[in-house]
Amino acid sequence: RPRARSWLEMTYTTIEGRQKVLADLGIAVEQIAVSLAALESAYEQLDDDTGGVLEDRLFRPAQLAYGRAKRTHREFASRSGLPGRSFDAASPGPQSQSVQTLIDRASFAAQQADQTIAGLQDSMLPVEVGDTELRAGLSQAREALAAIPLGARDIVRTVGR
């Protein structure tokens, strides 16, 4: 017969679970930062019309996902009584990258962030140690990220024509 866990064991497990949620969400925030940096660098190489399309279809959703994921991280850390963290801007990589390469890099980073958050959601940790606000924030970040790969394919097809 399995033995019941003590209060101390359950509390420790809850703390570990919350730390894992914060660590994984932090990885996703860093991945979104890479996407944003690549999009900013691509924007600088585009004409005004194409730059406007990139801003609407890619940069705004990436910025929305980044802000939502950071806020979700900060607020969950605060509600959990755990230390938050700051996030640094990411590097877009070498200056010599083409617009297509930068957009592909942004799309890939957004997909990685989406997979990181999906893995966190699938783990059920946000249900076990989280709260409604955490789950909503994760879902909202994923919704914004979903637009990036589709928009990236469309823009890459038209750039340079």
Q: Give me the pLDDT at residue 38, please.
A: 96
* Confidence (pLDDT) at 31: 97
Q: State residue 93's pLDDT score.
A: 79
The pLDDT tens digits of the residues spanning 105-161 come to 999 999 999 999 999 999 989 988 878 999 999 999 999 999 999 999 989 888 755
pLDDT tens digits, one per residue of 18-68: 999 999 999 999 999 999 999 999 999 999 999 999 999 999 999 999 999
**CA gyration radius for the chain?**
18
Q: What whole-number distance in Å separates Cα of residue 26 and Cα of residue 19?
A: 10
Rounded to two decimals, what is the model's pTM?
0.90
**Nearest-angstrom CA–CA distance, 40 and 61:** 13
**Measured between alpha carbons, how far is 41 from 152 in angstroms, rounded to an integer?**
14
Give dist(CA 146, CA 30) in Å, integer.
17
